[in-house]
Amino acid sequence: MIRVFVADDHPVVREGLKQIIERYRDIQIVGEAASGQEVIDGVGPSQADLVVLDLNMPGRDGFEVLHFLRRNFPSLRVLILSIHPETQVALRVLRMGANGFINKETIPTELEKAIRTIHAGQEYLPAGVSQELLRALRQSASTTPHDNLSEREFQVFLMIASGLSVKDIADRLTLSVKTIRTFRRRVLEKLDVRNDVELSHYAVKHGLFASPLPK
């Protein structure tokens, strides 16, 4: 039996994940969470083998939760879900110790295979992710400015690039507007861009979004 803990802040997505998993008699849902803190509090008692973890969790986001899981539950397998394209985000989360990554758009077709592959002790990446990416991961290559962002800075960067305002981000992460503005300033400085428009185009240029944003 594969024991799975499901973590996503959107009830509809979470129910969809559960419905897919419940089709299989040998995969059991042993817990669920709608926030990063709920994952941290619940994953130990659940005795899960594998966590399906959304990156965009409120409060303690997926990056922070992944760091916690790797430190406190090193044998626990972790599959990351994200709305962002695979290449750059997958590289970052795999470097942090995730065992696999899928884009949310591919959940219906890839979730079962990803869970089984990761539970079997292998890494799982979608077919579109090249072997060059895996080689870069093994070599700990770091050639782009966004590799130097902290995990929280990277999360704020993605949220700004996707069109969320500072207030929206503050509300979602349960942080102050002042704190988010500080993160934004650091991101702009580290990426050497002047404003949110340039930041969004940077994200597109480096493959962090699937299609160009409006100019």
Pairwise CA distance, residues 118 & 8, whole Å = 19
Give which of 132, 70, 134, 74 is closest to 101, Cα–Cα. Answer: 134
Residue range 126-148, pLDDT digits in tens: 776 656 566 555 555 456 788 78
pLDDT given for residue 213 in this prediction: 38
Question: Would the pTM count as exceeding 0.85?
Answer: no
Pairwise CA distance, residues 112 & 200, whole Å = 33
Q: How many residues does this entry show for the chain?
A: 215
Q: Is the dihedral of CA 204, 205, 208, 211 positive or negative?
A: positive
- Which single residue is written with the structure tokens 């997926």? 62
Confidence of residue 122 (pLDDT cuts 50, 70, 90): very high
Neighbours of 201 (CB within 10 A): 16
**In percent, how much of the chain has pLDDT > 90?**
56
- Which single residue is written with the structure tokens 């970052």? 92
Joined together, the tokens standing for residue 164 give 């969320």
Q: What angle do helix axes 62-72 and 36-46 make, rounded to 10 degrees?
A: 30
Outline where DSSP puts E strands in 95-196: 100-103
- Which single residue is written with the structure tokens 């969320």? 164
Confidence of residue 209 (pLDDT cuts 50, 70, 90): low
The CA-CA-CA angle for residues 128, 130, 131, to 5°, reads 145
Mean pLDDT of the chain: 86
pLDDT given for residue 15 in this prediction: 94
pLDDT at residue 8 tops 50: yes
Burial class, 23, CB count within 10 angstroms (exposed 0-12 / middle 13-18 / buried 19+): exposed
* Domains parsed from the chain with CATH numbers: 2-138 (3.40.50.2300), 145-205 (1.10.10.10)
Neighbours of 7 (CB within 10 A): 26
Could you give the maximum distance between any two Cα atoms of the chain, in Å?
A: 53
Q: Is the dihedral of CA 26, 127, 94, 139 positive or negative?
A: positive
Backbone φ and ψ for 94, nearest 5 degrees, come out as -70, -35
Q: What is the distance, to the nearest Å, from the Cα of residue 117 to the centroid of all Cα atoms in its chain?
A: 18
